[in-house]
Amino acid sequence: MKNLLLLPLLLIISCLFQACDLHGPRTKRKYILENGTGREVKIDFYENGNLKGSDFLAGKGIISEGLSDDLGMGKSLSPTFYGFSDSIIVIFDSKKAQIYYIKNGLQSKPQISSNILSNDSYVIESDKLYRYIFTEEDYENAEKL
């Protein structure tokens, strides 16, 4: 009887030592946020209403890049790339803003079809390289501050 009680504990310990992933295989990816406009773009990353950090670029080029692990969860963007952010505010030329957040799924304000928090909105250059490009359309769809 004692052996039966120890079996689940031994399986858990074995799983931890073998880096068992309960969600499926993990994929390490490089995520790039790129300014495809000639405008100034500032990105603020928030967690539970607290500013966690910002990235900024005036003109075209890479705003931010980082490595992330999808944690074996598939199509959801790994929160580790954004430091576990649950909302992101993108500000264009200090005049217009687009808000992306997680509340009962992925949301944005104003409501648009692409969302920086979703892998589906990225240009997938390879299984390990995802790129999000801010465009003039993003600027036009943003709300005035």
Instruction: Answer whether 127's CB lies under 8 Å from 25's CB.
Output: no
Instruction: Answer whether 117's CB lies under 8 Å from 106's CB.
Output: yes
Range of the domain at 125: 24-144
Whether residue 86 lies inside any domain: the answer is yes
Burial label for 12, CB within 10 Å (0-12, 13-18, 19+), is exposed
Quote the number of domains for the chain.
Answer: 1
Whether residue 6 lies inside any domain: the answer is no
So what's the pLDDT on residue 80? 46
Whether residue 46 lies inside any domain: the answer is yes
So what's the pLDDT on residue 75? 46
Give the integer Cα–Cα distance in Å for 113 and 143: 15
Whether residue 10 lies inside any domain: the answer is no
Whether residue 2 lies inside any domain: the answer is no
So what's the pLDDT on residue 16? 46
Instruction: Answer whether 129's CB lies under 8 Å from 32's CB.
Output: yes
Whether residue 9 lies inside any domain: the answer is no
10-residue block means of pLDDT along the chain (145 residues)? 52 50 62 90 87 86 74 47 74 93 62 72 83 90 93
- The separation between CA 96 and the C-alpha centre of its own chain, rounded to angstroms, equals 21
What separation in angstroms does the CA of 72 have from each of 4, 11, 14, 33, 109? 30, 20, 19, 22, 29
Q: Which residue has the tokens 């200090």?
A: 94
What separation in angstroms does the CA of 61 have from each of 7, 26, 64, 68, 119? 55, 29, 9, 20, 20
Whether residue 80 lies inside any domain: the answer is yes
Segment 28-59, tens digit of pLDDT: 778 888 999 999 999 998 888 888 888 888 88
So what's the pLDDT on residue 73? 45
So what's the pLDDT on residue 92? 95
Give the integer Cα–Cα distance in Å for 64 and 44: 12
So what's the pLDDT on residue 111? 65
So what's the pLDDT on residue 1? 53
Whether residue 66 lies inside any domain: the answer is yes
